[in-house]
Each structure stands twice: as C-alpha cells, then as structure tokens.
C-alpha cells in the first residue's frame, strides 16, 4: 500500500542508509541471478566475478555489464528469475530492429512500480482529490500502465485515456477537471495546440496543476512553451522497459534534475568507450542495476542513455541522487560526413530562431556517396509563409548557424505550420534513408 508519508521518509533517508539498502539489494540480486538465470551464471563465471564476494558498492566496478543484445538473445523468458506462475504481467519494447525485449513483473514488482511513479505525484504536490489523465499508450508500452499504477497508488482519480483521439482528450480534460496530465512531451504539445485551435483556453478552461512527461528528450525551450500554453508545471520522468518502465527517475518541483528511485535502482555513470566508472558530475552512459525486482532483475544494464549525476543536494531536501535531463542516447549520435552530431544539438541551434516552431524532422539520404542532411522545420503560425525572399533568407541564416556551431552542412527547408506529422507517443525526429553499410 502506498503511504505518502512513508515514501517521503524513504526519500529523505541519510544517503549512507540508502547505500546500505543498495548494497543489500545488489548482493541479493547478484546471488539470485547467479542461482536462477543460466545466462548470468555464465556471464559472472566468464568474467571471474564472484556474486557472493561483493562487500562494498565499489566492487560493482569489477562486475560485467549486460546489454540490450543480451536481453534480445534471451527472448522471451530466458532472463526470468522467477517461475512464470509467480509473474502477473509483462511488457515489451520492440525497438528499431523489431526484436523485442521483455520485462516481467511479479505482484511485488508492480507494487513498487506504482510507488516509484506515485512519487512523481508527490513531487508535484498531488494526491487524493487529483484527477490524472493518462494519455501514454496502454498496452505493451510501459507508459500507460506505469503511470496508471502510479496515479492509483498516490490516490488520484486515474482516467485511462491512452493515446489518440486528441479532441476527446481535450473534452475529457475540461469536463472531468483534470489536474495532472501524463503523456509524452510531444503529445502534450499536440494536445495544447489542438485545444487552442478548438477555441479552448487552457488558462481558463483547464484545471491543470502539473504534467509528468517523459519517454523522449524535451528541450528547455520546449518545456517552457508547454508550460506557457497549458498553464501548468512540467516534470520530467525517465524510465525504460528493461528496468521497469517510467518512474526510475522523476523531477521534483525544483526542476533541477531527476531524483533516481535509489531504494530500487543502483545507478552508475560510465565512459561508453572504456566502461570505466566516472565520478559524479561527469557526462557518460547511465548503467542501472535493479535492487529488488523479482521477475526480471537486471545487473549493470547499459542503458545507452547519456546523462550525469548532479553533485550535491537538491533544494527540496530529498536525498536520492539526481540525474541530469537526458539529451540523447549513445546510439542517437549521427555521424554525418565524419562529424558526430546529436539531434538535440541541432535542436539547440534552431531554438535560437524565434521564427521557427518546435516541430522538426531530420532526413538523412545519400547523394554522390555522401551523407545529405535535410532539416525540415515548421515556421511559427505568425510567420508569413508567402514571403519567399524572407523564407530564403531565414533558411540561409539557420544553415550558416548550423555550419558554424556544429560544422555540418544542412539543407534547411522551412515548412508550413502543422505539416510535420504529430505523434501520439514518441516523436520521430530522425528519418534515416541512407544507403550503404552503416555502423
């Protein structure tokens, strides 16, 4: 049972106590995996790692990693540490290659998932009496049910909208007095724009207090625009199917990093090239170990997500360490004619142009055996799209700035508002149509 006071107590424990919980959780998980999952027995044996010899958190640096490929290779039930009769739910993520990874849940696992997401409601100052619309997709995706369990745990009236049928979302938000909105940031923006088009004034017609938005990167400008349009506060939520789903880390009201649910997850930041653990404050790849997951624990799982541990304590007084908001994944990195670029860097440059909106798409093709990058960006509705000379001038300015800032040659094409497809889930920002063999 979710108990707000108890959750707050856990989130305010002195960090030494959290580390004790983590060490116990790691020892138990390692022993459990060694005994029940042949893949892990081989992994530990081959690495010469003794799961019963862990005596401090520092010993983790010597333990082997696991990767998404390991999860795929063991599809569907190969990494389950509990018999199927003890499991009550599964979720899957298909990823881009189409081979699924599976996460299993016992009742205990669902219970702490609800606690973790429910903390997001506490961070926003919500609870009983709040009306939460969950417009993440329900189904195999963890967004819908993860937020749902969190909303119910925290005592909210939880409305299982799922994604799609945007006009109906807006009617329900208005008629039911929704106070908390849960969906991807790009879908929240689509809801906001559609509401405005329908003549709904979110400042008067909605009762929103805050939104818990994640599953994809969101720039600071995008967040501010959302907050302005929907007159609420946006909290970022992080998670992934392999470790649980949404709620691994959530931002508090300070909006200064996402508190990791450190009583359930042990987080490390590593150098993605060498695998070496990096000190707090440095950017690298996030590696996660579950501490009390029963059905599908993961051990030193390489998330491929790039972030850093924010040193120091949060102003909110909670002691669970924070990760910085994510700017991308190691596998998002584009190599364009030999230059490494993250889509978020392109987005940062575009944000300096007030004439363009937050909707963009990067299309990669091959011309004369070379990478060719086309960046389609929507202009803001108040920009006069009939002024050809102005459009060309703006395109040229954006092109120059991208060249100066990122050293890449980009064919910038401004497009009319609402021409880039809107997404009900994660936005598709990069379309890679390049031919030839890629890494």
Decide whether 124 or 143 has the Cβ nearer to ligand DLL: 143
Footprint on residues 189-218 left by ligand DLL (CB under 6 A): 214-217
For 199-276, where are the E strands, in sequence order? 210-214, 233-240, 245-251, 258-260, 265-270
Tokens of residue 160, six digits: 């299982």
Decide whether 143 or 284 has the Cβ nearer to ligand DLL: 143
Among 22, 66, 133, 142, binds ligand DLL (CB under 6 A): 142
Nearest distance in Å: CB 238, ligand DLL: 4
Q: Which helix (H) or strand (E) holds 102?
A: strand 101-105
- Report the DSSP beta bridge partners of residue 108: none
Nearest distance in Å: CB 93, ligand DLL: 4
Counting residues that bind ligand DLL (by CB under 6 A) gives 20
Decide whether 95 or 127 has the Cβ nearer to ligand DLL: 95
For 278-435, where are the E strands, in sequence order? 284-290, 301-307, 309-310, 322-323, 328-329, 334-336, 339-341, 356-367, 370-379, 410-415, 430-432
What does the alpha-carbon distance between residue 284 and residue 306 come to, in Å, rounded to a whole number?
A: 5
Decide whether 237 or 415 has the Cβ nearer to ligand DLL: 237
Q: Which helix (H) or strand (E) holds 133?
A: strand 131-134
Nearest distance in Å: CB 215, ligand DLL: 4
What does the alpha-carbon distance between residue 103 and residue 391 come to, in Å, rounded to a whole number?
A: 48
- Report the DSSP beta bridge partners of residue 287: 268, 302
Tokens of residue 146, six digits: 């993860």
Footprint on residues 284-323 left by ligand DLL (CB under 6 A): 303, 305
What does the alpha-carbon distance between residue 143 and residue 165 come to, in Å, rounded to a whole number?
A: 17
Footprint on residues 236-255 left by ligand DLL (CB under 6 A): 236-241, 245-246
Nearest distance in Å: CB 241, ligand DLL: 3
Q: 3-state DSSP call for residue 431? A: strand
What does the alpha-carbon distance between residue 119 and residue 408 come to, in Å, rounded to a whole number?
A: 42
Nearest distance in Å: CB 429, ligand DLL: 12
Running DSSP on this structure, what letter comes out for residue 208?
-
Tokens of residue 347, six digits: 């987005």
Decide whether 253 or 372 has the Cβ nearer to ligand DLL: 253
Running DSSP on this structure, what letter comes out for residue 66?
B
Nearest distance in Å: CB 20, ligand DLL: 28
What does the alpha-carbon distance between residue 126 and residue 118 come to, in Å, rounded to a whole number?
A: 9
What does the alpha-carbon distance between residue 345 and residue 351 come to, in Å, rounded to a whole number?
A: 10
Per CB under 6 A, 262 contacts ligand DLL: no
Decide whether 304 or 413 has the Cβ nearer to ligand DLL: 304
Tokens of residue 439, six digits: 């890494």
Nearest distance in Å: CB 418, ligand DLL: 24
Q: Which helix (H) or strand (E) holds 191?
A: helix 185-197
What does the alpha-carbon distance between residue 190 and residue 179 come to, in Å, rounded to a whole number?
A: 18
What is the CB-side half-sphere exposure of residue 345 using CA atoms within 13 A? 17
Nearest distance in Å: CB 91, ligand DLL: 8
Nearest distance in Å: CB 305, ligand DLL: 5
Per CB under 6 A, 326 contacts ligand DLL: yes
The residue at minimum Cβ distance from ligand DLL is: 214
Decide whether 25 or 217 has the Cβ nearer to ligand DLL: 217
Decide whether 200 or 346 has the Cβ nearer to ligand DLL: 346
Per CB under 6 A, 343 contacts ligand DLL: no
Tell me the backbone φ, ψ of residue 205, rounded to 5 degrees.
-90, -20
Nearest distance in Å: CB 249, ligand DLL: 8
**Binding characters for ligand DLL, 39-78, by CB under 6 A (x = yes):** ----------------------------------------
Footprint on residues 122-141 left by ligand DLL (CB under 6 A): 136
Decide whether 44 or 259 has the Cβ nearer to ligand DLL: 259
Specify whether the CB–CB gap between 436 and 365 falls below 8 A: no
**How many angstroms separate the most distant Cα atoms in the chain?**
71
Decide whether 104 or 239 has the Cβ nearer to ligand DLL: 239
Nearest distance in Å: CB 385, ligand DLL: 31
Decide whether 202 or 257 has the Cβ nearer to ligand DLL: 257
Q: Which stretch binds ligand DLL (CB under 6 A): 51-59, 123-131, 231-239, 403-411?
A: 231-239
Binding positions for ligand DLL, rule: CB under 6 A? 93, 136, 142-143, 214-217, 236-241, 245-246, 303, 305, 326, 329
């Amino acid at each position: 049972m979710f108990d707000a006071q108890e959750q707050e107590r856990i989130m305010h424990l002195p960090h030494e106590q959290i580390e004790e919980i983590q060490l116990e959780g790691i020892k138990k998980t390692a022993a459990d995996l060694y005994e029940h999952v042949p893949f892990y027995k081989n992994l530990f044996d081959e690495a010469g790692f003794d799961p019963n010899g862990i005596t401090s958190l520092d010993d983790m640096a010597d333990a082997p990693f696991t990767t998404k490929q390991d999860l795929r290779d063991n599809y569907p039930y190969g990494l389950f540490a509990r018999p199927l009769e003890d499991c009550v739910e599964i979720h899957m993520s298909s990823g881009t290659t189409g081979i699924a990874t599976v996460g299993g849940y016992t009742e205990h696992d669902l219970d702490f998932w609800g606690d973790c997401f429910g903390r997001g409601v506490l961070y926003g100052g919500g609870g009983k009496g709040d009306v939460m619309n969950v417009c993440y997709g329900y189904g195999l995706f963890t967004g819908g049910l993860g937020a749902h369990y969190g909303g119910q745990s925290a005592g909210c009236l939880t409305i299982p909208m799922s994604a799609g049928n945007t006009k109906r979302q807006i009617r329900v938000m208005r008629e039911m007095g929704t106070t908390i909105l849960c969906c991807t940031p790009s879908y929240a923006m689509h809801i906001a724009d559609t509401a405005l088009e329908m003549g709904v004034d979110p400042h008067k017609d909605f009762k929103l207090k805050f939104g818990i938005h994640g599953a994809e990167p969101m720039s600071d400008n995008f967040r501010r625009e959302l907050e302005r349009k929907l007159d609420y506060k946006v909290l970022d939520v992080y998670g992934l199917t392999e470790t649980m789903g949404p709620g691994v880390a959530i931002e508090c009201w300070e909006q200064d990093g996402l508190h990791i649910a450190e009583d359930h997850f042990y987080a490390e930041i590593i150098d993605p090239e060498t695998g070496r653990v990096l000190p707090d404050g440095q950017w690298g790849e996030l590696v996660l170990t579950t501490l009390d997951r029963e059905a599908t624990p993961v051990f030193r799982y390489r998330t491929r997500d790039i972030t850093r541990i924010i040193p120091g304590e949060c102003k909110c007084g909670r002691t669970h360490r924070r990760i910085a908001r994510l700017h991308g994944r190691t596998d998002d990195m584009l190599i364009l004619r030999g230059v490494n670029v993250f889509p978020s860097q392109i987005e940062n440059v575009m944000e300096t142009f007030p004439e363009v909106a937050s909707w963009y798409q990067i299309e990669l093709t091959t011309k004369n055996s070379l990478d060719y990058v086309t960046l389609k960006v929507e202009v803001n509705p108040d920009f006069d799209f009939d002024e050809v000379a102005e459009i060309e001038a703006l395109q040229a300015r954006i092109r120059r700035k991208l060249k100066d800032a990122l050293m890449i040659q980009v064919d910038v094409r401004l497009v009319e508002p609402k021409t880039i497809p809107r997404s009900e889930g994660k936005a598709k920002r990069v379309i890679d149509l390049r031919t030839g063999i890629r890494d």
